[in-house]
Structure 1
């Protein structure tokens, strides 16, 4: 019979948000995100929407690389598949969002199922090269398949409609008028909330435990009865589904997409997100997405104060904002790998433990006790 202590720990491990502090923190962060778009300007509202959408795709990378341990450079390809599926169904076929949004994830998941059996036979750098080839092949396909993608000139993306109006034009709910950026903030936040719940439930399910077993040691997992090849394929399917939905949302928010935006640098950005945030943690994937997405905006804000940062390009006499942003999050990856392999998640855990349970003061040093005289040694 198991002891009450071990049973309590197992239940805590399986709970969605263990502990009262975690639940209170989740409610506080949710309340802050609900109020924040009413306090900040349109620039930061736009950055927030991009961060929410990027976090959904980063959760897909978290499932594949963080949980299943598979290295992939093909994230941009699945984003593009989801985006062009949404364009074809939402614009060409004029279908509503409740059709083209889940269909984007489904088609991207099917593409992951096609790549999965190939990826299940290779590992490490060979897998990274195979997924890298997928990015280059599909980028060429997007440029020459003009009927679907519009060629090098690009094509319009479907709009999210609310009461028959484009969400980007703003909505009015209960007498409160929301701008397009504010309305998209709440819509993308709701989508991220659903993706977070799905990711957390996957991680603590039997499928998630199989992912982690394959990640730690696939040979031992196979001996223990885990179907290794099927588990790797499933990880690709789940990851591609998350990513395809994020690609559809990204295309809709941009309103217009071009084939050149689905390149290798986009895949590298998502690898940076999960590494900086903390590989293998849900919080790390979301935090890394916010860090990488907001970095160009922070650098842009500093451009007015630092003379060596140029607003547009390096020809203006300084380092351009995009170039410096790439350098900074590349430098952040190096710092994480050298000093804190668990990334922002580990820093957050340390700060939370310090606040909730600060380090206790060292106990006082006891004074040395005087030796006692025994009766046998006493002289009368």
Structure 2
């Protein structure tokens, strides 16, 4: 079995286009992106890094609720989202708010979602997405269902979802992929392997050498990608999307990435389970540093450009948090009325009770 496992792993080498020095190592797979598109990718990563820093600060100030840091995972998140079309359906996990924002969710709504406000879960009409899933791995089953619906309607679009390495230990992960594979549904499953399911290292979660090889059991395509290389993630996702809309079925993409911060801001301390050496190793692979080197070498990126993006992000965040603060507070009656179209008798009684309290 050990030899079989190692043999499978050999079939899933890590796909890479840019190495840690920002040099092209796979010219054949270089995507056909214009200079403006390359700069847009970098813009989104810089903006998202600032958003992460400010969100952590806002959380510590008590101005945000639940928050899962994203620094280090920008290439995995935004490289994949950049390969999508506006009509595609996005089913994110709780760390994947950046993809929702770049798909069209207003920033102030992202802040309201963190606070648990129902307005934060109201997607704009042009954004095909569910709100971030808190239940680990549940979005994989939902994605299979959405993808089957897309197939039944003969639509040329895909359903895409994300989970962490911990999510691949859940039954929903296998069930969702198996269902999508059985029905040849247009789904893309992304497993962001940041090495720790909260504090449990991936080596203790599975005996498999790669997460990508788990696609074999479902009979679908699988690929392992350097998740710190935004171009490699973009290409892998774009190719998976092309296959899906052409009727060639789903794909599992494992992105090898790293979260620099804690699992969430709810008390996790990564220094208890990660070493300084491991942190330092992955800091050398920083997706922003790598891509910046590449763009600067091409002469299409500068420190001044980056500073402009940083200042814009700060201004946007300041305005968005003000808009979130100005949104009317959520009431208990809002919660009750949003849950039911026709209230059962027991909740009708409670509704009247809270209406009376809220009118005082």
TM-score higher than 0.5: no
| Rg larger in structure | 1
Which is richer in helix? Answer: 1
Taking structure 1 as the reference length, the TM-score comes to 0.27
User: Which TM-score applies when normalising by structure 2?
Assistant: 0.28
